[in-house]
Each structure stands twice: as C-alpha cells, then as structure tokens.
Amino acid sequence: MAATCVIGLQWGDEAKGKIVDILTERHDIVVRYQGGANAGHTVVYGGQTFKLSLVPSGIFRPQVQCVIAGGVVLNPASLIGEIEGLKARGVKVGENLLISDRAHVIFPWHFEEDRLLDVQCTSGEAIGTTLRGIGPCYRDKVGRSHAIRLGDLYRDNFRDRIAQITAAKNQIFSSFKASDNIKLLDAAKIHAEYAGFAEKLKSHVADTTAFLLDSVESGKRLLFEGAQGSLLDIDHGTFPFVTSSNSSGVGVSSGSGVPGRHITKVVGIVKAYTTRVGGGPFPTEQDNATGQHIRDRGNEYGTVTKRPRRCGWFDAVAVRYTARLGGVDVLAVMLLDVLSQLPEIEVCTAYELDGRRIAHFPSHVDDLRRVRPIYETLPGWQTEISDLRRIADLPANARKYLDRLSQLVGRPVEVVSVGPDREQTMFV
Ligand code: GDP
Ligand code: IMO
Ligand code: MG
C-alpha cells in the first residue's frame, strides 16, 4: 500500500508534469483527480516536448496504467484531440488509459457561461479564467439538476437530458444583451456531437473508483498528479481568484475516491520564484524589469492560453502555508536555472499588515492585497547551471539559496530541476 502525491504549492505551472513523468518510473498507476483542460502540463524527453491537459503525465511509460478519475471535469473534444495527437507521435494510448464514468462532462453552454460570467461576477477585477468551461461545469455538478456525467452519455435518456438542459440554459441565455453575442443552443446538434464523442471514448470508460480501491488494496503503487496549484484551491486558496476544484492536497481523496490513509508521500512542487496567470493578489509580483527578465528566461507564457505569466520572487509565507495544508513531506524546486544571471535574489520571509509583521497567509483576499512583503536578499550565482547534474556541483550560492528556501518552508528539498528535460534533474 503506497501512494505518492505531486501537488503544486503556488499558483500553478510549477512543472508538475515534469516531476510526474520522472516519478512514473517507480509507480504502477498515475491518476489525474481534479481540474480539467485548464491544466497544461509539459513533459520533455528525447528532444520532444509534449503538452498535456487531461491525459496523465504518466502516459509515456506504456506499462503504467493512467487514470482520469471522477473529480476531473472532462471536455471530450479536447481529450479526443489530445489522445489522437499523442498516438500520431507514437505514444501508446489504449487500455493503458481509463476514464471515470463519474467525471462530469463539459458542454458548449459551459464555455458560453465562462465567457459571460467571469467579467460580471467579481467586483472590478476579473478572475481571468482559462475560458475552458471549468467553473460552470463544477457549478452544475454541485447544483446537480443540469449536470451530465460521462456515464450518462451511454444511457437511453441521454437525448432527453440534453433537450431539458439546453431548454433551461437557452431561457437564461435569452436574458443576456444582444451585445453579449450569445448563440442559442441547438439540442439535436449537441446530442449528435456528444454521441460521437461517447463512441470514441467508450473503450476507456470505467468505474475508476472501484479500480483504484482494488489497486491500492492489492499493493499497487499509485501516483496522484495534481493540477493547478494550492493557492488556486477553491476552499483554501485566494478566493475568489481561484479555480473551482480542490487543487491543494486536500483534493486527492475526494477526486479519486482513494482514502488519505493510503498516501505515504507528498511531493510539493515549487518554482524557485513565483508565477501567476489570471487575476488576483500576488504580494511578491515584480511588475518591472526583474519580472520581465524572469518571464524571458523562464519562457513564462501560459501553456494553455499563451498569456504572459505574472512573475515575482519566491514567497515563503505562501509556500509554508500550502506545504502544511498539503501535508507535504519533501520539496521539488524547479526552474532554478532561470535565476542564474541575477546578482541578487529576494525571498519573502514575512508580511507586514497594518504596520504589524505577520507570518501567516491571510484568509481574506482584501488583506492579502494590502500586505507588504518583507524580503531577505541573497547573493546570486551568475553562472549557468543547466548542464549540471549533481547538487554538489551547483555554485555555493545556489546551494545556499536552496537551503534557505527549505529552512523557511520547513521541508527538505529532494529534487532540483535546472532545465525542462527529464535529464536536467538532480536528486538529493
Ligand atoms: P505544470 O502545469 O505544473 O506541469 O507546468 P507547465 O508545464 O505549465 O510549466 C512549466 C514549464 O517549465 C514548462 O514549459 C516546462 O517545460 C518548463 N520547465 C520545467 N522544469 C524546468 C526547469 O527546471 N527549468 C526551465 N528553464 N524550465 C523548466
Ligand atoms: P496547471 O495544472 C496556472 C488559473 C487561471 C485563473 C484561475 C481560474 O497547468 O498548473 P479556471 O479556468 O480554472 O476557472 O481559471 O485559475 N489556472 C491556472 N493557472 N496553471 C494552471 O494549471 C491553471 N488552471 C487554472 O489562470 O486565474
Ligand atoms: Mg501548466
């Protein structure tokens, strides 16, 4: 009985895909359990780059079983495109991919709602979602009456469900202004399209909750691949500037059905600095030449939406919080090479709020907006490190930087990454 979790400890894009791909070698099953095609996970090996949104990053080892569990919201068109793209590049995707019949399905109305409601529901600043229908699909899941799960696509009443829901959604859409450019939904067209998707995905669909419980109880080694980052968690993140699922460690059990008692190791993934895409407070943001330098060196543009990512210094207050929240055992520090040319590097060690120094991460977004980060300055190393393969070979200042991050977060560093490729990875 053993399960490992890979969890992002910042606002996403911490390079979870790279670590999952590497850790897959030591596991039997890799599981995506929340989020959807808002995720963009990158795996680089053998001179090839793969971008994955729904398919687990374990897919490149054909002997390993990949599972998309019930907590994921599924865009069938996007998943089919991804599977076909992988197959065209010689990656095996067959019985090695199971998809939960409990996963909720994203429909065209969810995309419309994502587009229409993001700008309207938060005062002033938009969440800046990925516009992949994620929030609206989770909203319908919780609301129940307008929800369709993957297993429902194979039932006799599927056509009727589509007719009922499109009628209800069209009634709501009719109340929007002409300038919102709403196209009313065509039930017959949507049914035909999704019946086609159902046929294509049929061989992968299974009760993954039962499969995972059987597997973990029979001693299989499970690897859980988190999507997004802990600060985007719907309950514990920077609400409302979050995603609509539990993207911190707390989501593993609800999303997969596997009890937390089976989890034996949690790997917290962090960048050596911080990035964020979309709206919301970001205390250590460097909206200046330093931020641009990091963006250029780290190629910090969204994997899914291509938006420039906001960049800033490592925030140890935030990561200490998310490491505790996720029950993190060890840290993987990624993209350390991006900081190589800086003469000095800042790390946020505490916040100041209303003239008082605080060490905790505020629960209310308005307080987080008002904090002033307190920085400690560390010397840079100003030599390239991408070709190094052992921690001992890193410049002394790079090792000091890692030690300080570890000390501030309160967790040991087990993995250090100095480039996108599988090979550009060091283990302590
Ligand atoms: P994920 O969503 O957490 O899987 O991360 P993304 O794939 O969205 O973003 C991480 C980006 O950093 C990808 O383009 C990776 O190829 C790249 N990457 C991963 N590790 C490193 C590293 O150590 N150094 C550099 N320079 N790039 C890295
Ligand atoms: P990976 O798995 C970074 C952000 C969006 C937006 C907010 C809500 O690649 O780390 P949503 O479409 O989920 O309703 O958008 O969450 N976001 C991500 N940011 N990485 C991701 O995934 C993200 N998935 C969603 O930018 O701010
Ligand atoms: Mg990403």
Q: Whose CA is nearest to atom 14 of ligand 1?
A: 42
Known active-site residue 13: yes
Is the pLDDT reported for residue 1 higher than 70?
A: no
Q: At a CB cut-off of 8 Å and minimum separation 6, what does 93 contact?
A: 55, 59, 83, 86, 87
pLDDT at 124: 77
pLDDT at 121: 62
> Edge-to-edge strand order for the sheet containing 29-32?
205-206, 97-100, 65-68, 29-32, 221-225, 2-8, 263-271, 330-334, 413-417, 425-427
Residue 337, ligand 1, Cβ within 6 A: yes
Residue 338, ligand 1, Cβ within 6 A: yes
pLDDT at 366: 94
Q: What is the pLDDT of residues 178-227, one digit of tens each?
A: 778 888 999 999 999 999 999 999 999 999 999 999 999 999 999 999 99
Q: What is the pLDDT of residues 205-214, one digit of tens each?
A: 999 999 999 9
User: Residues with beta carbon inside 6 Å of ligand 2?
Assistant: 8, 11-13, 38-41, 127-130, 132, 134-135, 227-229, 232, 243-244, 277-278, 303
Q: What is the pLDDT of residues 314-331, one digit of tens each?
A: 999 999 999 999 999 999
**Dist. CA 13–CA 125, nearest whole Å:** 22
Q: What is the pLDDT of residues 75-120, one digit of tens each?
A: 999 999 999 999 999 999 999 999 999 999 999 999 999 998 877 6
Q: At a CB cut-off of 8 Å and minimum separation 6, what does 393 contact?
A: none
CA-based end-to-end distance of the chain: 25
Residue of 335, 338, 418 to test ligand 1 pocket, by largest number of atoms within 8 Å of CB:
335
Known active-site residue 41: yes
Query: Quick check: bond before 108 cis, omega within 30?
Result: no
* Residues 79, 97 contacting (CB under 8 angstroms): no
Residue type, 394: L
pLDDT at 75: 98
Q: What is the pLDDT of residues 366-393, one digit of tens each?
A: 999 999 999 999 999 999 999 999 999 9
Query: What's the CA-to-centroid distance between 372 and ligand 1, angstroms?
Result: 28
In 33-123, beta strands by DSSP E: 41-45, 48-52, 65-68, 73-74, 97-100, 104-105
* Residues 226, 5 contacting (CB under 8 angstroms): yes
Nearest-5° Cα angle at 328, 421 to 415: 25
Query: In which band, very low, low, confident or very high, does the pLDDT at 122 lie, cut at 50, 70 and 90?
Result: low
* Residues 340, 385 contacting (CB under 8 angstroms): yes
Residue type, 340: S
Is the pLDDT reported for residue 352 higher than 70?
A: yes
Residue 40, ligand 1, Cβ within 6 A: yes
Query: What's the CA-to-centroid distance between 14 and ligand 1, angstroms?
Result: 7
* Residues 244, 135 contacting (CB under 8 angstroms): yes
Q: Which ligand is nearest to the CA of 6?
A: 1
